[in-house]
Structure 1
Amino acid sequence: MTTGPAEQTTFAGMPTPLYSGSPSRLLAWLDCPRRYRMQYLDRPRPLARPQRAHTSVGIATHNALRDFWDLPAARRTPAGVAELVRSSWIDVGFRDPEQSAAWRLRVRDAVTDYLRASDRDNQPVGIERSVSLKTDEVAITGRIDRLDDRDGELVVVDYKTGRQVPTDDDARTSLPLALYAVAAARMFRRPCHRVELHHVPSGTIAAHEHTDESLARKIAEAESIASDLRRADAEFKQVGVESTRFAPRTSAICSWCDFRAHCPEGQQMGPEKSDWAGLEPAGYDSSPVERDDA
C-alpha cells in the first residue's frame, strides 16, 4: 500500500498512527483549506504559477547565509559574501535584467551588513538543520535556518526578508519556532527556550523566551490543527474534491496565491499581483517559500 506524507499504513488492532507533517502544512490549512487541498492532497497537483521575484530573492538570501558558515575564516569578508550572493542568485520573476541586477546588489549589501553585526567566529550548532518532534498525536518534521549555542543553551534563529519588520510578539506567537525549539531540545538533549526572528534587510532581531508551559501550549496547538487535518484528509480520501471541508478562506492573500488560477472565489478578491510586486516599494518578502518540507 502506498501512503502519502501524512498517511501511515494501518492494520486491525493497531493504535491510530501519528499525523505526520510539517509546520508549513499545518499553517497552510489555517491560511486557506482550499490552497491546502491543492498543495498537499490533489493528485495530479494543480499547476502552480511561476515563481515570483521576491521568492527568488528570499531563496538566494537564505542560501548565501547558509553557505557563509562553510567559508574558511579568512574568506568571511565582504568580498566573500558578495561572491556567495552572486553564485546563489536566482534570476526568475523580475521585471527585467536591470531590476534583477539592482536587487542582487541590494541583497549583497543587506547580507553583508547583517553578517558584519554577527559573531562570525561563533560557529552555529546547525545550519538548515532538519529536526523532528513526536508526541502521542503528531510527528512534525521541519528545518531550522540556524541553531546557535549561547552559554550552553540552544537558540532557534529564523531569517526573515519581508518588508514588514517582525516584532517580539511575532516571535512569541510563531508556531514553527516553538516546535523547532522543542524538537532541538529533545534531539540535542540541551535546553532550548529562546527563539529569534532575524530581519535581514534591517538587522532587527525579534525574540521571545519561552517557558516549558508556553512550549507545551504550542504543542497542544499543533495537535489540535493536526486533529482537524486528520479528519479533512480522511474525508478527501473518501469523496475527493466534493468534500465541504475545503472551502476557500478568501482574503488579501488571494492576490498572491500560487493556485489562484484554479480558484474562482480567489480571483474575485482583486487583481493578481505582478511577478515583482513583492519587491515594492522596499524590502523583500520570502514568506511563501516552503523550506521545512524536507
Structure 2
Amino acid sequence: MEQLGFDFGVMPRRLMKVTPARLSTFEDCPRRYRLAYVDRPTPQRTGAWAHSTLGAVVHNALRALFDLPAAERTPGRAAALVGRHWTGAGFADSDQAAEYRRLAKDWAARYVSEHDVSDEPRGVERWVSAPAAGGDGPPSMIVEGRADRIDERDGELVVVDYKTGRRAPDEPEARSSQALALYAVAAERTLHTPCRRVELHHLPSGTVVAAEHTADSLRRQLTRAEETAGDLQQATDKLADGGDPDELFPARTGRRCSWCDFRPSCSAGQQAAPAARSWDLLAPLRDDPGDADGADGDGGSAGGERGEGGTPERAAAGVDRSSGGVS
C-alpha cells in the first residue's frame, strides 16, 4: 500500500505585517524608511516638532474624553483635557505655546459642541488587524494599525480620523487615503461588522469629509499596499544579504526634506532643502489659504500610528523577522 508523503522541507509562506505608516514612509522616501525602521542603533533625529506635539495633545484629549461617562463629555471638559495633556515641546517659546494651548482648547470645545459624542464608539485608539490580499488569491499580508475612533451607525462601522494640520481636507483626500481604506478592511475583520465609510474630522476648521468605499475601491488600495509591501520586503531582504543600503533604499529628495525627522542623518536631504524651524508646520492662528506645496503639518494624520501616550510613532521597530514580514 502506497504511503502518503509529506515534504517537510517546504515551509509555508509567512505573511507580511504592514501598517499604513510604514507603507506611506517607504512610498515617500525609502531612505527615511530604512533610517526609521531598519538601521540599528536608530540614527540621529531632529528634536520635537510643534505640530506633532499639537496633534498628539488633541488626540490624547479626545481619547480621554471618550473614557468618561457620556454625561460628562462636555465642551468644558474637552478643553480641560487639552490642558491636562498639554506640553510645549517644539514651540518657539512659551508665548507661542500658550497661544496654541488656548487654540487647541477652543478646537476641542467646539468639536464637542458641534458633534454628538454621547454614543459609545466601538473603539477609541483601537488596534485592528486583518489578513488580506490585493486579488482573489490567499492572503499575502496582514494589514494592521491603530484607528483614532471607530463608530457604529445603523449597523455598520465608520472609521474616524482626526486632523489638526494646516489645511482642511476634502472628499477626494478621504477617498484616496490608503490608511483609511486599510483601517476599514482591518476594522471589519476585527469587529465582525461591515465597514465602508471613512471620515476625516479637521478640528481647526470644523470640516468633516467622508467617503463611501466599495469592494472594488478597497481592493485597489489592497493591491497598492501589496505591491509596496513586496518592494519593501525585497529591499530589506537584499540588505540583510549584504546589499548596498543607499542603492536599496534611495533618498527621494524634495521640499519635505526640510522637516524630515532624520534630516541630521541624511546628507542628501540636507542638500535638497533648507531646514525648517520646529514650529513652521503649525496650523495658522488665523484664516489661511493653506499650503499649496503639500506641507500639511498634521500631527495626527491618517496612517501615523501613535505609540503609548499618543505621540506619533517614532520608535523604529524594524523588520519583524519572526513573522517574515514588515511589522
**TM norm structure 1:** 0.91
Which residue of 85, 88, 91 maps to 1:88? 85
Q: Following the alignment from structure 2 to structure 1, what is the Cα–Cα distance between the partners of residues 276 and 185?
A: 37
My pick for the range that moved more, 51-60 or 13-22, is 13-22
Q: Which amino acid in structure 1 is aligned with residue 102 of structure 2?
A: L
1:241 Cα deviation (Å)? 4.7
Q: Aligned residue for 1:219?
A: 222
1:243 Cα deviation (Å)? 5.1
Aligned residue runs from structure 1 range 162-241, under 5 A: 162-239=165-242, 241=244
Aligned residue runs from structure 1 range 17-96, under 5 A: 17-96=14-93
Q: Aligned residue for 1:8?
A: none
Any conservation in 2 of the 1:132–1:139 contact (CA below 8 Å)? Answer: yes
Aligned residue runs from structure 1 range 263-274, under 5 A: 263-274=266-277
Q: Which amino acid in structure 2 is aligned with residue 13 of structure 1?
A: V
Sequence identity percentage: 46
Q: Following the alignment from structure 1 to structure 2, what is the Cα–Cα distance between the partners of residues 194 and 77?
A: 26
Q: Following the alignment from structure 1 to structure 2, what is the Cα–Cα distance between the partners of residues 55 and 104?
A: 13
Q: Following the alignment from structure 1 to structure 2, what is the Cα–Cα distance between the partners of residues 18 and 265?
A: 34
Q: Following the alignment from structure 2 to structure 1, what is the Cα–Cα distance between the partners of residues 284 and 76?
A: 28
String of CA shifts for 1:38-60, please: whole Å, max 9, x gaps: 00110111021111111110100
Matched, 1:262 2:265: yes
Q: Which amino acid in structure 1 is aligned with residue 150 of structure 2?
A: L
Q: Aligned residues, how many?
A: 284
1:18 Cα deviation (Å)? 1.0
Any conservation in 2 of the 1:22–1:293 contact (CA below 8 Å)? Answer: no
Q: Aligned residue for 1:244?
A: 247
Unaligned 5+ segments in structure 1 are 1-10
Q: Aligned residue for 2:129?
A: 132
1:83 Cα deviation (Å)? 1.6
Which structure dedicates a bigger proportion of its chain to helix?
Answer: 1
String of CA shifts for 1:241-273, please: whole Å, max 9, x gaps: 545121100111000101011111111222111
Q: Which amino acid in structure 2 is aligned with residue 88 of structure 1?
A: H
Q: Following the alignment from structure 1 to structure 2, what is the Cα–Cα distance between the partners of residues 286 and 190?
A: 29
Q: Following the alignment from structure 1 to structure 2, what is the Cα–Cα distance between the partners of residues 21 and 134?
A: 10
Q: Which amino acid in structure 2 is aligned with residue 285 of structure 1?
A: D
Any conservation in 2 of the 1:142–1:292 contact (CA below 8 Å)? Answer: no
Change (3 A) 1:118 1:269: same
String of CA shifts for 1:125-163, please: whole Å, max 9, x gaps: 110110001122111220000001111110000011111
Find the residue that maps to 2:126 and give its secondary structure.
strand
**TM norm structure 2:** 0.83
Find the residue that maps to 1:45 and give its secondary structure.
coil
Q: Following the alignment from structure 1 to structure 2, what is the Cα–Cα distance between the partners of residues 123 and 291?
A: 22
Any conservation in 1 of the 2:73–2:112 contact (CA below 8 Å)? Answer: no
Q: Following the alignment from structure 1 to structure 2, what is the Cα–Cα distance between the partners of residues 201 and 27?
A: 24
1:79 Cα deviation (Å)? 2.4
Matched, 1:109 2:106: yes
Which residue of 110, 118, 123 maps to 2:120? 123
1:292 Cα deviation (Å)? 5.2
Q: Following the alignment from structure 1 to structure 2, what is the Cα–Cα distance between the partners of residues 85 and 116?
A: 15
1:16 Cα deviation (Å)? 2.1
1:207 Cα deviation (Å)? 1.0
